[in-house]
Structure 1
Amino acid sequence: MNYRHSFHAGNSADVVKHALLIALLRALQQKEGALTLIDTHAGCGLYDLQGEQAQRTGEAMQGVMRAFADQNPLLGDYRAAVQAVNDAVTIGEGPRLYPGSPKFLAQMLRPQDFLILNEKHPEDAYALRCAMRATSAAVHERDAYELWLAMVPPRTGRGVVVVDPPYEQTDERARIVATLAAAHRKWAHGVSVIWYPLKERPTHAQWKHQLRKLGIPKFLNVEHWLYDTDQPGIYNGAGLFIINPPYAFTQALPPLLEALRGALAPAGHRGEIFAEWLRE
């Protein structure tokens, strides 16, 4: 699967990922202790929804534009974060620019927090540095999985690693399993968020089985299926694996998930979104 994010910025997967990321960080920041936020596949940082690549797919119309039109108050923090990178946003027009995960993370930094970004693609890394110029973020251009292991545990002790790969390589899932296992041995209480696309259920079930065998105690799985029945050979939705989510986040999750399902359900479909613990 080729997932160059400029083609898919602001789609339904982004809405779910970023809304949950905001909620997760808000829960972690209920404690005053410093956080180190690490994004291993940071991308460009900022995307033009009226640019040629985004317009070619039009996926933002079924994602961020629906979230702005829906106006559910539970999505207010998400909409405010998107609006913050736009000069002006009206309900009729919607946003022109879409923030990548680095921009969402930067908006949530407190004075005591740190942001570490990584993007291996040279052109995207250059765009990322430009997009993050006004922030305190450190930008690296390294192999994502090498950086993941090198940066944990962070000096602050507490932190979040966001892993959002393009899934272009056939061994991507295997590298995630291996790196997660090694990172967990180094930093057992660390919080990790791993994004993935959903296509065929059997392939995904096999991957979940491999992750379940790692025996990580607090391993949450959130899945968002767009359609009432699987659509063969196409993108059917996306999900997140969240390791060590705080209690305040999991308690507030059900109504937020329902708000996301309602806002993003395609015409003629109810869709499904749920959270479950992965157990051996």
Structure 2
Amino acid sequence: MNYRHSFHAGNSADVVKHSLLIALVRALQLKESALTLMDTHAGCGLYDLRGDEAQRTGEAVSGVLRAFADPTPLLDDYRAAVRAVNMGGEPHLYPGSPRFLAQLLRPQDVLILNEKHPQDAHTLRAVMRDTRAAVHERDAYELWLAMLPPRTARGVVVVDPPYEQTDERARITATLAAAHRKWAHGVTVIWFPLKDRATHQQWKQQLRKLGIPKLLRVEHWLYDSEQPGIYNGAGLFIVNPPYAFTQTLPPLLEALRAALAPEGHKGEILSGWLNE
């Protein structure tokens, strides 16, 4: 499966990821002190839903377009952020995490973006030209550690790799362990695809061994039973989520499940502390 984001922009995984990212940052911003927001795999920053790559998969139909058609007010913040990069009704452009994060910036906050792919990094710089973002073109895992601890006392690191390398999960696990030693109180968000439960269970076991006390997992399973060999959903691991975020999470997750469930399926979103 090709995880390059231009093929999958605006899919169900994006809706869940970006809805939760907005809620998480807003919860952290209940305190006035500055935040550093860092995206280690930033991508292009903005995607054309009418372009060849997005049209080839058509995944936005079961993602962002479903979210726009659903009446729940719990997705209003998400829809407003998507509308901010579009003109008119149905969205034809989809903001990547960098554009979502840029919209959330307060004057005291800092945004650091990284994209190793040269062509995508060039596009990202153009897309983010109207923001205060600093754009880097480095190895994501090297940058993740090099930037910790950030200059501000608080911050969020978003790790959203394409999972094209067989050792991606191992690299994330090793880097997270080192990052937690450097910045134990920091908030980290790790996106992951779900293909089969066995592989995911093995990774969760490896992450449990890190002994991180506050490691929340959110899993969005699209189908009522596992569909072998295909994309079954996606989710997030979140280190040190703020209390205000965890309190608002259950109704938001239920709204997302209901909005994104494929026809003939109820879907399932599981959440809880990994070490419980």
- The TM-score normalised by the length of structure 1 is 0.98
- How many angstroms apart in 1 are the aligned matches of 2:121 and 2:247? 36
Paired residue for 2:239? 243
Equivalent residue runs for 1:51-66 within 5 Å: 51-66=51-66
Paired residue for 1:259? 255
Task: Give the drift of 1:2.
Answer: 2.9
Equivalent residue runs for 1:70-109 within 5 Å: 70-89=70-89, 94-109=90-105
- How many angstroms apart in 2 are the aligned matches of 1:49 and 1:157? 37
**2:107 is the counterpart of 1:111:** yes
Task: Give the drift of 1:157.
Answer: 1.4
Task: Give the drift of 1:112.
Answer: 0.0
* Paired letter, 2:15: V
- For residues 129-162 of structure 1, give each alpha carbon's deviation from its aligned partner in whole angstroms, at most 9, with x where no partner exists: 0100000100000000000000111000100000
* Paired letter, 1:195: W
Q: Secondary structure at the match of 1:16?
A: helix
Match of 1:142 among 138, 141, 145: 138
- How many angstroms apart in 1 are the aligned matches of 2:2 and 2:214? 30
**2:82 is the counterpart of 1:122:** no
Match of 2:219 among 210, 220, 223: 223
Task: Give the drift of 1:88.
Answer: 1.7
Paired residue for 2:228? 232
- For residues 182-234 of structure 1, give each alpha carbon's deviation from its aligned partner in whole angstroms, at most 9, with x where no partner exists: 00000000000000000011111000000011000000000000000111000
- How many angstroms apart in 1 are the aligned matches of 2:229 and 2:33? 45
**2:149 is the counterpart of 1:153:** yes
- How many angstroms apart in 1 are the aligned matches of 2:264 and 2:196? 21
- How many angstroms apart in 2 are the aligned matches of 1:269 and 1:104? 29
- How many angstroms apart in 1 are the aligned matches of 2:219 and 2:3? 18
**2:160 is the counterpart of 1:164:** yes
- How many angstroms apart in 1 are the aligned matches of 2:158 and 2:46? 17
Q: Secondary structure at the match of 1:15?
A: helix
* Paired letter, 1:100: G
- How many angstroms apart in 2 are the aligned matches of 1:82 and 1:135? 16
Equivalent residue runs for 1:19-34 within 5 Å: 19-34=19-34
- How many angstroms apart in 2 are the aligned matches of 1:87 and 1:278? 41
Q: How many pairs were matched up?
A: 276
Task: Tell me the C-alpha RMSD between the 2 structures.
Answer: 0.7
- How many angstroms apart in 2 are the aligned matches of 1:2 and 1:95? 23
Paired residue for 1:35? 35
**2:264 is the counterpart of 1:268:** yes
Which runs of 5 or more structure 2 residues have no equivalent in the other structure? none
Q: Secondary structure at the match of 1:234?
A: coil
Task: Give the drift of 1:275.
Answer: 0.8
- How many angstroms apart in 1 are the aligned matches of 2:62 and 2:262? 7
Percent of aligned positions with the same letter in both sequences?
A: 81
Paired residue for 2:49? 49
Q: Secondary structure at the match of 2:119?
A: helix
